[in-house]
Structure formats: structure tokens, C-alpha cells
């Protein structure tokens, strides 16, 4: 089988603070996607589940905006802000119309530099995560995936670790704030545009 892959050219910029920005110009499209990629995956955890919890809760409150206000802002502009946590990295991805990026980027910056992780939002996250886990544990592909990773990498390796129901209860706000400070607020990231 012949395989030919052509990737569009990219431009690399380095901001004054050292953040690398990679831009791909796809022509005259009215929509854009911006991703902030942090070295904040579970491979760097000292406490189980903190990386995913912080990434998820970034959108759940700052010192000036509630979770509701943040969600309303993105919805008003027809934008979507996704967060994902992986083994090595965690990312925030904004999908929006080009014309609204000026209204949305300051709010993303606020999430990265001023998230407060309200206790009530953490409590909701723990409860919901436990419920999602209970549902997922009834699916054979989910269970098999966890066991295969643990078998291949070993249960002590970051790729072989998986969450149990009680692990969510052990999540503490102080640990989340410390992780956020180290890996988001003061951590380095790469930006893809």
C-alpha cells in the first residue's frame, strides 16, 4: 500500500515569555482553533487523579467569573472550549469564529492564570466522576483497556495507573491549586493556531 501524506506548512513564533506558537494557515476559513498544550499529564502526578481534575475544573470559576458566567460567555459567541488530559500533556482547545477571538482569548487567559477551583465545584466533579466510573465499569471495552494498560506497563507506571471510586474522594482542593500553580499558571505551554 502506498501512502502519501502532505501536511500544510506551519510558522513557528516564540513569544517574549518563551511560549512557542505554531500557526497553520488554511486559507480563508471563518473559523479557527487555538490549542494550549501544557506538560501537565498524569505522568507528572504525585497524587492520583489531580491532573485530570485540574484540567476539567479550569472552566469552573475564576476570581471574577462563576462556572455559569464562563459557560455563558463562550455560548454567547458560539464558541466551544474543550479540555483534555492525557498521560504526558493536558490541553485547552478553543473553537470559534475568527471575528470573536478577541472577545474569547482574554477569558481563556483568565482560566489559565486565575482559576480558583471552588470547593463546591470540586465536590460536584467528584460525585459525577464516580458516577461515570460506575457506568463505565459495566462496559467490557473500558475494563479491558484498563487491565491491558496495567498489565503492559505495570500498576506503578503512569500509563498503567487507573482511577478507582475512592481515589476521587481523596482529591483535595489544596492539591489541585498546587498542581495548577506549577503546571498551568507558572508552567510552560505550546500554542497551536
Crossing angle between the packed helical segments 173-180 and 50-57, to the nearest 10 degrees? 80
40 is written with which cell numbers? 501537565
At residue 8 the predicted structure's pLDDT band, cuts being 50, 70 and 90, is: confident
Segment among 8-22, 30-44, 115-129 with least mean pLDDT:
8-22
Q: What is the pLDDT of residues 160-192, one digit of tens each?
A: 999 999 999 999 999 999 999 999 988 778 888
SS3 188: coil
Three-class DSSP category at 22: strand
Instruction: Give residue 187's pLDDT.
Output: 74
CB 151 within 8 A of CB 97: no
Full-model pTM: 0.86
What is the pLDDT confidence band of residue 118, given thresholds at 50, 70 and 90? very high
pLDDT, tens only, 119-128:
999 999 999 9
Q: In what order do the strands lie in the sheet with 10-14?
A: 10-14, 20-24, 189-192, 31-38, 90-97, 80-85
Could you give the CA distance from residue 109 to residue 101 in angstroms, rounded to a whole number? Answer: 12
pLDDT at residue 185, rounded to an integer? 86
Q: What pLDDT was estimated at residue 83?
A: 96
The whole-number pLDDT of residue 106 equals: 96
Q: Which three cell numbers stand for residue 190?
A: 505550546
Alpha helices in 49-139 (DSSP H): 50-57, 67-76, 101-114, 119-136
Packing angle between helix 50-57 and helix 119-136, nearest 10 degrees?
A: 120
Question: pLDDT tens across 83-99, in order?
Answer: 999 999 999 999 999 99
* C-alpha span between 33 and 101 (Å, rounded): 10
Amino acid at each position: 500500500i502506498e501512502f502519501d501524506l502532505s501536511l500544510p506548512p506551519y510558522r513557528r513564533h516564540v513569544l517574549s515569555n518563551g511560549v512557542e506558537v505554531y500557526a497553520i494557515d488554511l486559507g480563508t476559513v471563518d473559523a479557527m482553533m487555538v490549542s494550549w498544550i501544557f506538560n501537565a499529564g498524569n505522568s507528572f502526578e504525585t497524587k492520583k487523579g489531580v491532573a485530570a481534575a485540574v484540567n476539567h475544573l479550569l472552566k469552573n470559576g475564576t476570581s471574577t467569573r462563576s462556572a455559569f458566567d464562563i459557560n455563558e460567555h463562550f455560548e454567547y459567541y458560539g464558541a466551544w472550549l474543550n479540555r483534555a488530559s492525557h498521560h504526558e500533556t493536558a490541553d485547552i482547545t478553543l473553537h470559534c469564529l475568527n471575528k470573536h477571538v478577541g472577545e474569547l482569548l482574554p477569558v481563556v487567559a483568565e482560566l489559565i492564570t486565575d482559576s480558583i477551583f471552588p470547593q463546591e465545584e470540586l465536590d460536584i466533579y467528584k460525585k459525577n466522576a464516580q458516577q461515570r466510573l460506575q457506568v463505565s465499569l459495566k462496559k467490557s471495552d473500558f475494563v479491558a483497556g484498563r487491565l491491558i494498560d496495567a498489565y503492559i506497563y505495570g500498576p506503578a507506571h503512569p500509563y498503567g495507573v487507573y482511577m478507582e471510586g475512592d481515589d476521587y474522594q481523596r482529591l483535595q482542593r489544596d492539591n489541585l491549586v498546587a498542581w495548577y500553580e506549577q503546571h498551568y499558571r507558572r508552567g510552560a505551554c505550546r500554542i497551536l493556531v
